[in-house]
Structure 1
Amino acid sequence: MARDEMATVRASIAGGAAVVPQHVAIIMDGNGRWAKLRGRPRLFGHRAGAKRVRDIVQACPQIGIKYLTIFAFSTENWKRTQTEVAGLMTMFKRYIMKEAQALHKAGVRVRFIGDRIRLEPALVRLMNDLETLTCGNDTVHLTIAINYGGRDEVTRAVRRMAVDVAAGRLKAEDVTAETLASFLDTHVLPDPDLVIRTSGEARISNFLLWQSAYAEYEFIDTLWPDFTPEEFARVIGRFASRDRRFGGTKA
């Protein structure tokens, strides 16, 4: 049945019957609870979650999604135990080393957003190398948010903009919403059309605050490691029924 549902969504897309979001953002929640249900440590769940990322990225071109942004590590996640944080940083490095060539071969362009200053130099080098390796790809644009927070991103953007104003490169009276957006980490990306959060939590957790002003949201109960490409396709299928007016009304 799951494969049939995936095929149905793909057929609807191909026939023009379904509206596909150009950009989907995902808050990948529930790894720790998934591991706890199995009597395993939290890092076991994070590793399972990393494998699920591969499946969802591979499903994007089949469904017709061009841009995918995933929330991997927030500015608030440093509050977790030292063991978990260290394990996550090691996992990020291993993920990049293991997946780099496969992502490149699949035509995935990878970008990272967030403040890199607090990250280990070895991890930052791997991130930079992966961005360089995949910079010419265009099948799927995968953006990974590491040490990212929406408030922090806007704060850093305003700080950079203030420097330009002080230097005379930008006039304060010329600052618009579009000007501020051009200083954000995501300035080269379209705003997300759909934000998905797994695990049953119904909050946005400081993720893409500016960019998601008019995004549609889906809060689903499935824990991230159990979020299959088939369920992903069903969520995308439901997106087509949303009435998006962006503050206006239909004629």
Structure 2
Amino acid sequence: MKKHLPKYHHSQGYSLLELVLVLAIVAVLVGLLLPKGFDALRNARVQQVVRTVDTLKTALVDYLALAGGNGSLPRTEGMGIPTSGAALTGATDIAKSNAARLDTVLLATGRLERPLSLRMGTQTYMSTGTGNELTWNQAVLAFVMTPDAAPQRDWSAVTRAEARMANPSLVPSAALGANFLLDGFTNLNANSIVAYLVIPSCPARDAYELAMAMNGAQLAPLEGTASDTGLVAYAAPTNGVTDVYVYLTSI
């Protein structure tokens, strides 16, 4: 009796041409879908900033209405930053500007629930330098440090809210938040205190899309150039990034 050995069938592999066609199709799909994915992520970052700006505006209105306040915003940049304590008050304006933030005031008074955190711009969330941080004392309407000392902390590389005296002599792209042409033509009043959101090291495309969303088409800049009109101001990007200043309010 003959025994029939089983036959083994070898499946034929893919040809080189078939592999090339598959890779070509995958490359086309990636080329079509990847930019849309980046656009969706960028739009999400823009909308997060828009929502944060609305939250900050509401917080500022609530702060101005606080009992015991003086109906004004404390300056956190430039000259005239309110401080208490001989050593702190005697420190340089630059040192106090680097250490003080308007969002600190809003957090201390319960107007903000949590620290600012955006996916746009720098992802640095901590100050540099040594020593204690400034805190806000609503009872004396001033920044304090315990124990009293000159500030050595620096928040200038962190996304934050600030307030300073308006400076209408500067174009918005060079004013560092001190001036905005909200209607495209009119400077801020020189006697006003302006509050603004700072987004350091913002990618150029993100800055442009934010300007398009918040300024509107009529006041939006050309891509890659400075933004001098509307709610969003920034200098022309350098090495693909720029510091963005978003208007909150002025009083």
Higher helix proportion: 1
| Fold shared by both chains (TM-score > 0.5) | no
Q: Which has the higher contact order (CA 8 A, sep 6+)?
A: 1
TM-score, length-scaled by structure 1 = 0.24
Q: Which has the larger radius of gyration?
A: 2
